[in-house]
Amino acid sequence: MPDDRAPRAAWRSVWASTRSLPEFRRLLELRAVSQFGDGLFQAGLAGAILFNPERAAEPWAIAASFAVLFLPYSVLGPFAGALLDRWDRRVVLIGANSGRLALVITVGMLLAAGVGDLPILLGALIVNGLTRFVSSGLSAALPHVVPREQVVAMNSIATATGGAAAFFGANFMLLPRWLFGSSDSGASVIIFLVVVPVALALWLSVRFPPRMLGPDDSIRAVHGSVAYAVATGWVHGARTVLAVPTVTATLAGLSAHRMAFGLNTMLVLVLVRHTDPASASVAGLGTAALFLAAAGIGSFLANVVTPTLVRRWGRYATPIGALAFAAGVQLCGATLRLPVMIACGFLLGGAGQVVKLCADTAMQIDVDDALRGHVFTVQDSLFWMAFILAIAAAAFVIPADGHAPGLAVAGTVVYLAGLAVYATVGRRRRPAG
């Protein structure tokens, strides 16, 4: 039986080693404040649009809000990702955080003025895109501030820190909402508070020395004009993904996980509304939030154990085990019992995060730095497009009462398909642990 103290000991050792990596600690600080601001902004926006007594959100309006916030950047992100491999990433981070700062202030002013949803959502769309752009830039820059042999462990620390910061930011929103109310004026105060962490992220971006975060030039870099690099961003990103088997394989597994998670999310949302329609806005919301929180906790714990798993079984075998485990857990969700589905959400969140961390590591180690930004924005696009595609597909077939065990079984099929693609493509070149 493996010693359960091993992951804890390994985690403490990794944390201790960050003391000798000052630039990584600075990158970690930037990720933490950036994602704290993102969590606060997203929660504040949800409160302003979806749970605001002055704004009655119909179901289709809610769906449209999610589509506006996540689909456009998912399509355009890989085009913009070319800039991460074209310009000094420090300059890109400064520019993106400056844009975030100006637009957060604009969204707060629009809320204070009580304008309609569309201008607010459009402003939030750009803020969301810039935030994801910053996140991709930080991931692409990580190999520049840590030794190659520590990329897996330090990527786990960075992901865990960012996820925890976003969680605390989202929950911090409850305090100003309680103090200032849930009206437009109260919501605008929450959005204005986002200025503080975003301004701090901008200051931390400026502190990096020029060229410290890359990109490194190489013969694989995309040369030519900036317009050409941006216009061909999707082409070069997708071509690089397909050219590196470890990246192709892990992104296939990650896309399968996000599709299954989308199916589960739709099932839980419809089930809780049908269980007690009269209290769906209160009890149902609480149950849905509990499902998402369980998945988030599972993801956080996966950040702790993944370095140990990779050291023991390697980067090829670890995602195979995670996807096979997820397929079995997903089948248990076919009972459609909410406590079981919440437990499944916890386990699937952990399994999916193991695959995600292995995908990040493959891109940070196996992809040339001159193309790494392209690949991270492609990953971000696939991450969200797979999720939204699954939710949209489920919406067409799910009955009004949510009793669709076939959707849960379909999630198992999706996991097995992702596992088959991963095992087939990944064996072309098994990387060292």
pLDDT tens digits for range 48-107: 765 555 554 444 555 566 666 677 777 777 777 778 888 899 999 999 999 999 999 999
Specify the pLDDT at position 280.
Answer: 43
What is the predicted pLDDT for the residue at 355?
Answer: 95
How big is the chain, counted in residues?
433
pLDDT at 57: 46
Specify the range with the lowest mean pLDDT, choosing from 151-160, 266-275, 296-305, 397-406: 266-275
Q: How far apart are CA 352 and CA 342, in angstroms?
A: 15
Q: How would residue 291 be classed by pLDDT, with cut points 50, 70 and 90?
A: confident
Helices 117-141 and 89-113, axial angle in degrees (round to 10): 160
pLDDT exceeds 70 at position 285: no
Pick the closest to residue 250 from 322, 179, 195, 328 (CA basis).
322
Same fold? 18-215, 230-428:
yes
Residue type, 64: A
Q: What is the pLDDT of residue 282?
A: 42
Provide the pLDDT for residue 432.
Answer: 47
pLDDT cut 70: percent of the chain above it: 83
Q: Is the pLDDT of residue 17 over 70?
A: no
Query: Is the predicted pLDDT of residue 272 greater than 60, yes or no?
Result: yes
Instruction: Map residue 55 onto helix, strand or coil.
Output: strand
Q: What are the extents of the domains in the chain?
A: 18-215, 230-428
Q: Evaluate the omega torsion of the peptide bond into residue 72 and state whether it is cis, within 30 degrees of 0.
A: no
Which residue in 129, 136, 128, 102 sits closest to 39, CA to CA?
128
Mean pLDDT in residue range 212-236: 75
228 or 2, higher pLDDT: 228
Higher pLDDT, 63 or 181: 181
Q: What is the mean pLDDT of the segment spanning 167-196?
A: 85
pLDDT in the model for residue 59: 43
The residue ranking higher by pLDDT, 283 or 223, is: 223
Question: What is the pLDDT averaged over residues 294-313?
Answer: 88
**Which pLDDT score, from 0 to 100, does residue 277 have?**
47
Contact of 74 with 385, CB cutoff 8 Å? yes
CATH superfamily of 18-215: MFS general substrate transporter like domains (1.20.1250.20)
Across 287-316, average pLDDT: 85
CB atoms within 10 A of CB 397: 11
| CA–CA separation, 398 and 266 (whole Å) | 9
Look at 71 and 239; give whichever has higher pLDDT.
239
Tell me, what's the pLDDT at 278?
43
Topology, domain 230-428 = Growth Hormone; Chain: A; (1.20.1250)
Instruction: Please report the pLDDT score of residue 14 as a whole number.
Output: 56
For 86, other C-beta atoms within 10 Å of its C-beta total 22
pLDDT in the model for residue 50: 57
Residue 192 has pLDDT above 90, yes or no: yes
Residue 218 in contact with residue 369, Cβ under 8 Å?
yes
pLDDT for position 176: 86
Mean pLDDT of 229-243: 84
pLDDT > 90: percent of the chain = 33
With cut-offs at 50, 70 and 90, classify the pLDDT of residue 34.
very high
The pLDDT, as a whole number, for residue 275 is: 59
Interatomic CA distance for residues 144 and 390, integer angstroms: 36
Q: What is the pTM of this model?
A: 0.75
Q: Any idea which of 39-43, 347-351, 405-409 has the lowest mean pLDDT?
A: 39-43
Q: Which of 163-172, 353-362, 375-384, 407-416 has the lowest mean pLDDT?
A: 163-172
Instruction: Specify the pLDDT at position 64.
Output: 62
Residue 283 — very low, low, confident or very high, per pLDDT cuts 50/70/90?
very low
Please provide residue 342's backbone torsions phi and psi, each rounded to the nearest 5 degrees: -65, -45
Whether 356 shows a pLDDT value over 50: the answer reads: yes
Reported as a pLDDT band with limits 50, 70 and 90, residue 148 is confident
* Per-residue confidence (pLDDT) for residue 303, from 0 to 100: 85
> 336 in helix, strand or coil?
coil
How confident is the prediction for the chain on average, in pLDDT? 82
Mean pLDDT for 402-416 is: 92
Average pLDDT over residues 239-248: 92
